[in-house]
């Protein structure tokens, strides 16, 4: 057996002393148990947790990104919609404007026609009035002229009026006849 006594001398470096082997084993066994039971499980768990967390966060980021993309699409769609709506409103307004303009024009034409008609009626009335007064005057003048020509025989008003009326009636029938022609 190798004893401590031998190991204390200058020994062969290839042959271990018993205490050397003993303490080496002690140190090795303690460290092996320590790493096995205490250190490595915690190390593995830490790394696994970290991997899991990173993967989880990546997934969350991806989800968030998808959500953002979806929202962006939604907003773009809404924008497109409102643009289309605005165009529609504009178009409608244009059409309405055209209609209003046409209506106004129509109105103005009607007004103009009405004014023209009124003016025509008035002119006609005035012509009639002028005609009547002219007729009366012409009658008087004619009688005056005739009485001066005929003299006293025709002094009676009744006769004169009768003559004039019949003359006028004649005129009128002539007039009507000429119109009827």
Among 17, 138, 154, 164, the residue binding other proteins under the rule CB under 8 A is: 17
Regarding 18 and contact with other proteins (CB under 8 A), the answer is yes
137, 131 in Cβ contact below 8 A?
no
Regarding 25 and contact with other proteins (CB under 8 A), the answer is yes
Could you tell me the CA-to-CA distances from 67 to 60, 75, 76, 118 in Å, in that order?
10, 12, 14, 75
CA–CA separation, 136 and 143 (whole Å): 10
Regarding 156 and contact with other proteins (CB under 8 A), the answer is no
Regarding 3 and contact with other proteins (CB under 8 A), the answer is yes
Q: Return the DSSP state at 151.
A: G
Buried b (16+ CB within 10 A) or exposed e, 66-88: eeeeeeeeeeeeeeeeeeeeeee
Closest to other proteins by CB, 42 vs 151, is 42
Regarding 34 and contact with other proteins (CB under 8 A), the answer is yes
Q: Which stretch binds other proteins (CB under 8 A): 32-40, 122-130, 131-139, 162-170?
A: 32-40
Task: Using CB under 8 A, list all residues that contact other proteins.
Answer: 3-5, 7-11, 13-25, 27-28, 30-32, 34-36, 38-40, 42-47, 49-50, 53-54
């Amino acid at each position: 057996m190798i004893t401590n006594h031998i190991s204390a001398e200058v020994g062969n470096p290839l042959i271990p002393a018993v205490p050397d082997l003993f303490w080496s084993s002690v140190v090795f066994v303690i460290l092996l148990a320590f790493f096995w039971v205490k250190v490595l499980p915690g190390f593995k768990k830490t790394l696994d947790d970290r991997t899991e967390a990173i993967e989880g966060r990546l997934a969350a980021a991806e989800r968030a990104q998808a959500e953002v993309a979806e929202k962006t699409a939604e907003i773009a769609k809404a924008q497109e919609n409102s643009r289309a709506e605005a165009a529609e409103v504009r178009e409608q307004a244009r059409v309405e404007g055209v209609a209003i303009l046409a209506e106004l024009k129509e109105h103005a034409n009607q007004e103009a026609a009405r004014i023209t008609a009124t003016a025509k009626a008035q002119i006609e009335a005035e012509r009639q009035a002028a005609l009547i007064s002219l007729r009366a005057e012409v009658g008087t003048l004619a009688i005056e002229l005739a009485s001066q020509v005929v003299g006293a025989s025709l002094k009676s008003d009744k006769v004169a009026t009768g003559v004039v009326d019949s003359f006028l009636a004649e005129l009128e029938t002539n007039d009507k006849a000429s119109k009827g022609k």
